[in-house]
Amino acid sequence: MGWGMPTRPPATSTPSRVQALYELCKRTFPSPSSVAASSSPSSPPPDHAIRAISSLMDTITPVDVGLRDDNLEDGRGFGFFESNFLKNSARVARWAQPITYLHVYECDAFSIGIFCLPTSAVIPLHDHPGMTVLSKLLYGSMHVKSYDWVEPAVLASGKPVKLGKLHTDDVLNAPCPTAVLYPQSGGNMHCFTSVKSCAVLDVIAPPYSESSGRVCPYFHDYPFSSFSAGQAKVVHGPDNYAWLEALNVPVNINMRPGMYTGPTIQEHLP
């Protein structure tokens, strides 16, 4: 069975987990305009603050963000599903569906959103320059492959590629702990491939912003044996490394905005 789009949970007198997540992020991630000139805006918050957000995200379920079991997925992960976004046709082949992004909240300090991936959908290898990212697999199963840059930088002779060290190459099944990546570590460059239809809750701080130069670069990874590393030594074996080439052409991702129907965030203005 799959989890589908979406239904608003009943009202409750206690703050929702989504509201609690917003409150915690608001206290943790400063606005770039408030960062002191002597501080780096890409420096992550203290470990204890990240652990607090991660622990809260570990408790968030699909129901907490307005997703429900639609009971329409067959055992292969294909078939059909219903969608509130489709007015003319309520049943559409799953393989025809794009990745759906549900916008929960965004300010200049952080964003909260949900990526819903049908079976076999791919978010290509991409970077999070200067960002701290927390990702919670809400349901389903996905393969994650991620890298960090080798420091000091290693360039292939005469080729526009740079050496990265493999951080993660594994299939994750919900429920599983929240993953955290940092500006310089934790698998800052990653790609997702859904093994079964899945959804990922993301907190990104600060969010992508073209005006601030935080764009989303995409990469192609080549096996370590593809190019020469010169005099550089790989200490953990060549299978733990790859050459990464930044893509200079637009990456065509079949993604669309969806309607978030989970609990509304009550924003506290300064």
Predicted confidence band of residue 207 (pLDDT cuts 50, 70, 90): very high
- Report the percentage of the chain scoring pLDDT > 70: 80
Of 88 and 236, the one with more pLDDT: 236
In sequence order, the 6+-apart residues with CB closer than 8 A to the CB of 194 are: 117, 118, 119, 120, 121, 122, 140, 141, 142, 143
User: pTM of the entire structure?
Assistant: 0.81
Give the model's pLDDT for residue 7.
Answer: 54
- pLDDT > 90? residue 75: no
- pLDDT > 90? residue 200: yes
Predicted confidence band of residue 270 (pLDDT cuts 50, 70, 90): low
Give the model's pLDDT for residue 10.
Answer: 52
Give the model's pLDDT for residue 258.
Answer: 93
**For 53-67, how does the pLDDT look when each residue is reduced to its tens digit (9 = 90+)?**
999 999 999 999 999
User: 59-77: buried (b, 16+ CB within 10 Å) or exposed (e) per residue?
Assistant: ebebbbbbbeebeebeeeb
Average pLDDT over residues 250-260: 87
Q: What is the 3-state secondary structure (H, E, C) of 122-164?
A: EEEEECCCCCEEEEEEEEEEEEEEEEEECCCCCECCCCCCEEE
Superfamily of domain 3-258: Jelly Rolls (2.60.120.10)
- pLDDT > 50? residue 15: yes
Report which DSSP code applies to 237.
Answer: -
Give the model's pLDDT for residue 210.
Answer: 80
Most confident of 10-24, 75-89, 96-110: 96-110
User: Taking a C-beta distance cutoff of 8 angstroms, is the pair 154, 229 a contact?
Assistant: yes
CA 64 to chain centre: 18
- Report the percentage of the chain scoring pLDDT > 90: 61
**For 84-142, how does the pLDDT look when each residue is reduced to its tens digit (9 = 90+)?**
333 333 333 444 468 999 999 999 999 999 999 999 999 999 999 999 999 999 999 99
Give the model's pLDDT for residue 19.
Answer: 96
- pLDDT > 50? residue 71: no
Task: Kindly report the number of other CB atoms within 10 A of residue 142's CB atom.
Answer: 26
